[in-house]
Amino acid sequence: MTQFIGTGVALITPFKADLSIDFDALERLIEHNIANGTDYLVISGTTGESVTVTPEEKIKLIAFIAKVNKGRLPLVLGIGGNNTANVINEIKATDFTEIDGILSVSPYYSKPTQEGIYQHFKAISEVSPKPIILYNVPGRTASNMSPETTVRLANDFTNIVAVKEAGNNVHQYLELLRTKPKDFLILSGDDDLALGVALAGGSGVISVIGQALPKAFSKMIRLGIEGKAKEAYDIHFKLMPITALIFSENNPSGIKAVLEVLNISESHVRLPLVKATDQLIINVKKALNDLEKS
């Protein structure tokens, strides 16, 4: 699954002031990433505000992104939830003509056991026409998919090819890297830990900040995968302040503030999220200015 190695970005869904989708801004964002080294695009993840995008809007987003992309980068589509039957029904109803993989989050809110998580993904694997990237993000789901469950799924189902691990837990990353099947991909979902994971043997990242600063971030990840630690950390240290800022209030309000300062899109979000504070925007402007000078 070399198409998922490197830097994937979890695209925002840009909104206008009336909170309708800003397709012009989305096109700018896609072209910005294609031109600057991003390896693949992820549609309708958490950063894309998937929980407040309607099913009809999601279909329009997929079609528009595929049209703009024109096959230049692989596309991964987020399809997940805590109702296994609904996830299966969505997969069966989706046109995957332009889609290369599925990103599916571990069931949230319900707090299933490890066996429940295994059976959920087993059922999805059995109907999926595309490779599956598991997504473990305990801070949002309120349950942790253990390395043992991830590796069990990786060994049992050939179309489960990777995990986006976002537990911000270094030990868990290392346990996954130690025990995973040979060709199974460990992808960081934590921008601040992504380089360390790549250097330890990971296959890359599905990033938030990467969509705003794709040239620097994707170069850092490539250097990390190649084992060039010093060159990679030179970039990492420069990116640390802006990476920390985008998660200081909420995601995606932080990354939308960065993209607004870069004149790519506006910073509107849908409730229950609220826009970045004026202070965060001031801090973002300073961090981007410092980065440009570095």
CATH number at residue 131: 3.20.20.70
105: nearest Cα among 27, 156, 51, 69:
51
In a domain, 199, yes or no: yes
Buried b vs exposed e over 134-144: b needs ≥16 C-beta within 10 Å?
Answer: bbbbbeebebb
Name the domain count of the chain.
Answer: 1
Residue 22, token pair as written in the block:
């800003």
User: Is the pTM value of this prediction over 0.85?
Assistant: yes
Specify if 289 maps to a domain: no
Q: Within a domain: residue 124?
A: yes
Q: Is 118 noted as a catalytic residue in this protein?
A: no
Domain contains 275: no
pLDDT at 288: 98
Q: What is the pLDDT along the chain (294 residues), one digit of tens a residue?
A: 699 999 999 999 999 999 999 999 999 999 999 999 999 999 999 999 999 999 999 999 999 999 999 999 999 999 999 999 999 999 999 999 999 999 999 999 999 999 999 999 999 999 999 999 999 999 999 999 999 999 999 999 999 999 999 999 999 999 999 999 999 999 999 999 999 999 999 999 999 999 999 999 999 999 999 999 999 999 999 999 999 999 999 999 999 999 999 999 999 999 999 999 999 999 999 999 999 998
In a domain, 145, yes or no: yes
- Which residue range is the domain that position 51 belongs to? 2-227
Domain membership flag for residue 280? no
Active site residue 135: yes
Report the alpha-carbon distance of residue 75 to residue 44 in Å, rounded.
11
pLDDT per position as a tens digit, 20-29: 999 999 999 9
26 within 8 A of 265, measured Cβ to Cβ: yes
- Which residue among 40, 58, 118, 164 is the active-site one? 164
pLDDT computed for residue 4 by the predictor: 98
Q: How far apart are CA 31 and CA 40, in angstroms?
A: 12
pLDDT at position 181 is 98
**Cis peptide bond prior to 131, omega within 30° of 0:** no
Identified catalytic residue from 40, 58, 118, 135: 135
Residue 236 lies in a domain: no
Domain assignment present for residue 253? The answer is: no
Please give, one letter per residue, the 3-state secondary structure of the chain.
CHHHCEEEEECCCCECCCCCECHHHHHHHHHHHHHCCCCEEEECCHHHCHHHCCHHHHHHHHHHHHHHHCCCCCEEEECCCCCHHHHHHHHHHCCCCCCCEEEEECCCCCCCCHHHHHHHHHHHHHHCCCCEEEEECHHHHCCCCCHHHHHHHHHHCCCEEEEEECCCCHHHHHHHHHHCCCCCEEEECCCCCHHHHHHCCCCEEEECHHHCCHHHHHHHHHHHHCCCHHHHHHHHHHHHHHHHHHCCCCCCHHHHHHHHHCCCCCCCCCCCCCCCCHHHHHHHHHHHHHHHHC
